[in-house]
């Protein structure tokens, strides 16, 4: 499904101040706005509603911490309601903090690809809108190359099973704007909360 992204003239203005959040992961107890030292790296993935998407990553025992926010658009420090309007250009994103000596970026890519259907354009299942589009925002040449390699491999695998082309965007990471506090680790705080995330059932051969 194709829905146009807003132009700079159409985008909401946003605000200078960022949201105030609790700097502790509800499950892992590690900071979600860490001062990154040489042992911790960052990865950003958009794969539909970030409530269920974030859980997919924190369930990996080797993940240091996770957070949710908005990326890829125009509006600075947008609110959830503004993002859902389609007038910010952002997509709901999970930020993953990990130690590459303990967890390979390829393992995160495998979680990403297998946790959603990356062929749907501006939607994920019944969730429709630009904020649900699939994207990988990379922080190094290595991440970029591995992301593109994994896309090619998974695209071939999905094509062989009758799926159309992958629509996932891969680009250098723009600014990450943290989502409101109640969104952070939402499904841990609300175990019966909505989760629309779901994969194709096809393994990614990375």
Q: What is the pLDDT of residues 89-125, one digit of tens each?
A: 999 999 999 999 999 999 999 999 999 999 999 999 9
Residue 68: φ, ψ to 5°: -120, 150
Looking at residue 91, what is its pLDDT?
Answer: 98
Average pLDDT over all residues of the chain: 96
The mean per-residue pLDDT over the stretch 164-179 comes to 98
Q: What is the pLDDT of residues 25-73, one digit of tens each?
A: 999 999 999 887 778 999 999 999 999 999 999 999 999 999 999 999 9
- In order of 20, 47, 59, 150, 194, the CA distances from 87 in angstroms are 22, 19, 32, 31, 23
- CA 131, chain centre distance (Å): 10
Looking at residue 108, what is its pLDDT?
Answer: 98
Q: Name the fold adopted by 41-189.
A: 3.30.1060
* Residues 24, 30: Cα–Cα separation, whole Å: 5
Looking at residue 112, what is its pLDDT?
Answer: 98
Looking at residue 41, what is its pLDDT?
Answer: 95
| Number of residues in the chain | 206
Looking at residue 124, what is its pLDDT?
Answer: 96
Tokens standing for 127?
């969730």
pTM assigned to the model: 0.97
Please say if 42 is a catalytic residue.
no
Q: Of the listed 42, 49, 84, 204, which one is catalytic?
A: 49
* Residues 136, 45: Cα–Cα separation, whole Å: 5
- Domain ranges, ordered by start, for the chain: 41-189
Please state, for a pLDDT cut of 90, what percent of the chain lies above it: 95
């Amino acid at each position: 499904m194709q829905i146009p992204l807003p132009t700079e003239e159409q985008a909401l203005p946003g605000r200078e101040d960022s949201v105030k959040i609790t700097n502790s992961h509800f499950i892992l107890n590690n900071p979600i706005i860490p001062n990154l030292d040489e042992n911790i790296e960052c990865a950003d993935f958009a794969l539909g509603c970030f409530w269920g998407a974030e859980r997919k990553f924190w369930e990996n025992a080797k993940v240091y911490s996770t957070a949710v926010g908005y990326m890829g658009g125009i509006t600075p420090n947008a609110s959830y309601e503004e993002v859902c309007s389609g007038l910010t250009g952002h997509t709901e994103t999970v930020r993953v903090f990990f130690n590459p000596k303990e967890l390979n970026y390829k393992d995160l890519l495998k979680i990403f690809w297998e946790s959603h259907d990356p062929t749907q354009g501006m939607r994920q299942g019944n969730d429709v809108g630009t904020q649900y589009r699939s994207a990988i925002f990379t922080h190094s040449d290595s991440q970029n190359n591995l992301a593109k390699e994994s896309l090619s491999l998974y695209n071939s695998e999905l094509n062989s099973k009758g799926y159309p082309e992958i629509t996932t965007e891969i680009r250098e990471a723009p600014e990450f704007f943290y989502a409101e506090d109640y969104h952070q680790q939402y499904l841990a705080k609300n175990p019966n909360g909505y989760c629309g995330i779901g994969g194709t059932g096809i393994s990614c051969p990375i």
